[in-house]
């Protein structure tokens, strides 16, 4: 279905987070100030999987033929599947989950002040719960 494997998709996401091309914002995928880490994932998805027709409509990430999946705050199902993630906000593995039940990439981005580089490290070190 996708041109890229989940491993390739995550590598592209990590590279984008470290690229310096994205300004960081909180509490939304994208706004006038920048992107959250999950918004960067959506943007990378739209660029690397153009045949899906996914795009931004203002601050909302639109995934054609998946109207129930369009929003401005959580990771759309198509992007989650592409990245091989479980959960709408990028849930984390054991230690983070045990320490705080709400721990997620969105939480680290929005509430804990993690930079994109720090979030890239979390993803790269498999701090993200992966399927399979």
Per-residue model confidence as pLDDT tens digits over 68-87: 666 788 888 889 889 887 76
Give residue 18's region: left, alpha or beta (phi > 0; psi -120 to 50): alpha
Q: What six digits make up the tokens of 54?
A: 């996914």
Q: What's the predicted TM-score (pTM) here?
A: 0.84
What is the tens place of the pLDDT at every residue in 40-69? 999 999 999 999 999 999 999 998 877 666
Q: Which residues contact 48 (CB under 8 A, 6 or more apart)?
A: 3, 4, 9, 12
At residue 102 the predicted structure's pLDDT band, cuts being 50, 70 and 90, is: very low
Q: What is the pLDDT of residue 9?
A: 94
């Amino acid at each position: 279905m996708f041109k890229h494997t989940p491993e390739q998709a995550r590598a592209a996401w990590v590279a984008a987070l470290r690229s310096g091309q994205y300004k960081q914002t909180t509490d939304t995928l994208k706004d006038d100030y920048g992107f959250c880490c999950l918004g960067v994932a959506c943007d990378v998805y739209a660029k690397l999987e153009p045949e899906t027709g996914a795009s931004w409509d203002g601050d909302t990430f639109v995934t054609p033929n998946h109207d129930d999946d369009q929003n401005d705050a959580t990771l759309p199902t198509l992007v989650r599947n592409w990245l091989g993630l479980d959960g709408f906000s990028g849930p984390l593995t054991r230690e983070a989950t045990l320490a705080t039940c709400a721990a997620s990439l969105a939480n680290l981005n929005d509430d804990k002040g993690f930079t994109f580089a720090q979030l890239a490290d979390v993803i790269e070190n498999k701090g993200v719960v992966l399927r399979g």
